[in-house]
Amino acid sequence: MASIELTRITPRLHLLDYSVGQAYLWQDGEPGREELTLIDAGWAGLADETAAAIRSAGLDPDRLRRIVLTHCHRDHVGSAQELADRHGAEILAHGLDAPVIRGEAPVPEPHLLDWEVPLLEHGVGVPEAPPTRVDREVEDGEVLDFGGGAVVVHGPGHTPGSIAVHLPRHGVLFAGDTVASVPDVMFGVFHVDRALALDSMRLFAKLGPSVLCCGHGAPVASDTAARLSAAAATATA
């Protein structure tokens, strides 16, 4: 069973590391009256550990208001429904990935490059996500009620319904798996449509974030916009 490592990135932002895949915890309001949002939800079967990690940050998991899923992959969806049921949160995802998340459509096959195959094998220990409800389907440009206005940016390619979530007031961008930072900012892996995913990465780069939170790899908080732009400019589909 994986353990979860919690790291504070900014006063309102924590990283939850599931060893393969990551989620992020955003805090609005002050402790005691906080409103929490999870971006992605880690592996299936780790709701207890996730709640414990939230508590270890001095926050109350029962104040979890929403879980925003960046896309339908198992290392992002896994504990969403269990956490949402226990703590009274709403689950949000893009309409194009929602049927997969609900278990009504198959997970779209990635276009694997040769060097990605061993990486995929590294992730085989991640349990399949259970069928998971999506309470609200979101679209490009929609503004969600957290982080001073969280903008949904549809960035298809990693999966058809992949999204980034942009907090312009805080300069934070949650990029899902379209972008990775392993070890430095790079084009992600296991994309269903690489050309489309690259267009999406270039779109995200135009947002010029100061903090970049990827599904895999450490958050990037220095020289971020320049590093993202450079990686987007040199990546190839």
**Site for Zn ion, rule CB under 5 A:** 73, 177
User: Nearest distance from residue 177's CB to Zn ion, in Å?
Assistant: 4
> Which residue in the block uniquely carries the two structure tokens 């992949």?
162
User: Nearest distance from residue 94's CB to Zn ion, in Å?
Assistant: 13
What one-letter code names the amino acid at 183? P
| Token code pair at residue 40 | 């992605």
Q: Could you tell me if 49 and 26 are in contact, meaning their C-beta atoms sit under 8 angstroms apart?
A: no
User: Nearest distance from residue 11's CB to Zn ion, in Å?
Assistant: 28
Three-state SS for 169?
coil
| Token code pair at residue 200 | 């999406």
End-to-end CA distance of the chain: 35
| Residue whose CB is less far from Zn ion, 177 or 193 | 177
| Residue whose CB is less far from Zn ion, 4 or 192 | 192
Distance CA 93, CA 192 (A): 18
User: Nearest distance from residue 31's CB to Zn ion, in Å?
Assistant: 32
| Residue whose CB is less far from Zn ion, 97 or 177 | 177
User: Nearest distance from residue 145's CB to Zn ion, in Å?
Assistant: 26
> Which residue in the block uniquely carries the two structure tokens 């393969």?
20
| Residue whose CB is less far from Zn ion, 73 or 194 | 73
| Residue whose CB is less far from Zn ion, 57 or 72 | 72
Strand order in the sheet with 163-167: 143-144, 150-154, 163-167, 172-176, 211-214
Distance CA 87, CA 67 (A): 11
